[in-house]
Chains A and B, each alone.
Chain A
Amino acid sequence: DGHGNIQEMKLEVVGTWGFLENWKVFEERFWTEVIPEASGGKITANAKPYTELGLKGYEVMAGVRKGAYDVVHALTSYSSQASPALEGIDLSGIIQDWDTYRQAVEAYRPIIEREVREKYNAQIVNIYPFPTQQLWCNLGDRSITNVSLADLAGKKIRTYSRTQGDFVEGLGASSITLALAEVVPALEKGVADCGVTGTMPAYNGKWSQVVTHNVRVRLGFAATFTAINLDTWESMNADTQNLILTEAKKFEDEIWEFEQTLDQAGMDCNAQGPCDRGQPGNMTPIEPDAEDQALLKKIAAETVVPRWAERCGSACAAEWNATVGKLIGITAPTDGS
């Protein structure tokens, strides 16, 4: 049969949030159905989402590097404490459309692969996004429609990554940190005025109960990769590796399509619908106009990118300029540290 050279193995896998589509539709199915089927039952897996294991974030990558498990699906932002270069693919607010973002990932992929291999002892097999991260604000009155991005200066905005913090400060707002479980109460009570989260997570988390406006600026795509511990990877023969790479590529192509649809569905469900998941959230959507786009560009070029370049160093900034920077027309300063 065609599975003759496939090695028998049982992999231990940690996935992303157990209650989100990326796990439910893709990651879990990949390890419990797709791979076992494609390998004729030779490769099986014990796959668990990280939420079910009580993991919180950065230690997810320590686990795959140390071989506590074989495979991890992890956000690039979880790995940036060892490699600021990885943050470069998801800088807040610099890219506003899906096609450009996918091109940026393709351009930056060799750098991501190298960094993860060197710093995390792991092989990347695919890279994919989540629904986009947008701004969700409690402005008190849903009937207000003339909101511009500049109006958010001075607001308290809950962010969960450093680059989002940079964006918010570039906007002239203040960035606050809160545990996810506290965000909705905090938005209700005005501890925070706005929060950053994905379009579908905002709907699933019932943010519409406390949020009046969805400011549709894209502050990130939550780039995620599948990485296999290098010792595990190198213990596989070429056929086994190829099988995983082939299936991972199919996964990748499907999920990029899926996320765009999901992203739109998330925005619709939070606004007036149509929504096939339940009641629409009736938030007032704010589409960025030309003025807002100009402000986004200004924040990206003057705050987000330079601050990141400072963390990352000049060699790293130069690599970014030759890839993502060239694509979107922003140059990171390379005279820093």
Chain B
Amino acid sequence: MLDRIQSGLEGTARGAAIIGGAAMCAAAFMVTMDVISRKVFGVTMRGSDEITGYIFAASTTWAYAYAMLTRSNIRIDVAYVALNTKARALLDLLALGLLTLYIFLLARSAWSVVEESWTFNYTAQTPLATPLWLPQSFWFAGLAFMLLCLAFLSLRCLWCLAKADWQGIGALAGVKSLDQEIEEETHV
């Protein structure tokens, strides 16, 4: 059951990352068209830079969860690798706890941004005059999704802690081993 929920979260995160990447790729085409039309016809599409910025902000927060679930977070493991499984598991819990706390505070603060943009109907001071709540909602939703994944992972790890299953914690939230990392870096 828990495994199925986790793979559901992972699937969603992966899907979101792919959509985000595709959106960035589409943005690359839009910006290229803009540059060409500026050079050749002397006209600019208004706001291609602005839209690209919004796509960037939203696709990035949605990819956070994917990076986290694939354990690609940048962690310095000089001391970590020298420890035994139990000590590593405790550090993993500390890491997960602090990351969850940080993302919680960030998401809470991000919510206030969206809420105010909605309430006061803020618009961007650009030619497009985009209602800001729109891109901000996508951006916030990515953070909220990451928080959901972190909360789920934390609960699973606490459950492992209660059973003193140190390896279980390592498998859920450990630093990727050298072999795993190399395997991914060189996968062409």
Q: Are chains A and B touching in the complex at the 8 Å CB cutoff? A: yes
Contact residues of A with B, CB < 8 Å? 58, 62, 66, 77, 80-82, 119, 154, 156, 161-162, 165, 174-177, 311
Segment touching A, from B2-10, B15-23, B79-87, B123-131: B123-131
Specify which of A62, A82, A162, A174 is in contact with B126 (CB 8 Å cutoff): A162
The chain A residue with its CB closest to the CB of B35 is: A191
Specify which of A80, A119, A165, A174 is in contact with B43 (CB 8 Å cutoff): A174
The chain A residue with its CB closest to the CB of B127 is: A165
Contact A81 B132 (CB under 8 A): yes
Instruction: Give complex CA distance A177, B126 in Å.
Output: 9
**Residues of B close to A175: CB separation below 8 A:** 44, 127
> Could you mark each residue 116-145 of chain B with 1 if its beta carbon is under 8 Å from any beta carbon of chain A, else 0?
100010111111010010000000000000
Contact B124 A81 (CB under 8 A): yes
**Residues of A close to B42: CB separation below 8 A:** 154, 156, 174
A81-B124, A156-B42, A162-B129 provided; 12 other pairs, C-beta below 8 A?
A: A62-B116, A77-B125, A80-B125, A81-B122, A119-B120, A162-B127, A165-B126, A165-B127, A175-B44, A176-B38, A176-B44, A177-B126
Secondary structure of the A side of the interface?
Answer: mixed
Contact B129 A311 (CB under 8 A): yes
Interface size bucket, B side?
10 to 19
Asked whether B77 is an interface residue with its Cβ less than 8 Å from the other chain, the reply is no
**Residues of B close to A62: CB separation below 8 A:** 113, 116
Identify which of B43, B120, B127, B132 gathers the most chain A CB atoms within 10 Å of its CB: B127
Assuming the A-B contacts A119-B120, A156-B38, A177-B49, are A81 and B125 also in contact, with contact meaning beta carbons closer than 8 angstroms in the complex? Answer: yes
22 contacts between A and B (CB under 8 A): A58-B125, A66-B112, A81-B123, A81-B125, A81-B132, A82-B120, A119-B120, A156-B38, A156-B42, A156-B44, A161-B125, A162-B126, A162-B127, A162-B129, A165-B126, A174-B38, A175-B127, A176-B38, A176-B44, A177-B50, A177-B126, A311-B129
> Could you mark each residue 29-46 of chain B with 1 if its beta carbon is under 8 Å from any beta carbon of chain A, else 0?
000000000100011100
**Residues of A close to B122: CB separation below 8 A:** 81-82
Instruction: Give complex CA distance A174, B112 in Å.
Output: 36
CB distance from A163 to the nearest CB of B (A): 9
The chain A residue with its CB closest to the CB of B128 is: A162
Instruction: Give complex CA distance A80, B124 in Å.
Output: 9
Query: Which 7 A/B pairs are nearest by Cβ-Cβ distance?
Result: A81-B122, A162-B125, A174-B44, A81-B125, A82-B120, A165-B127, A82-B122
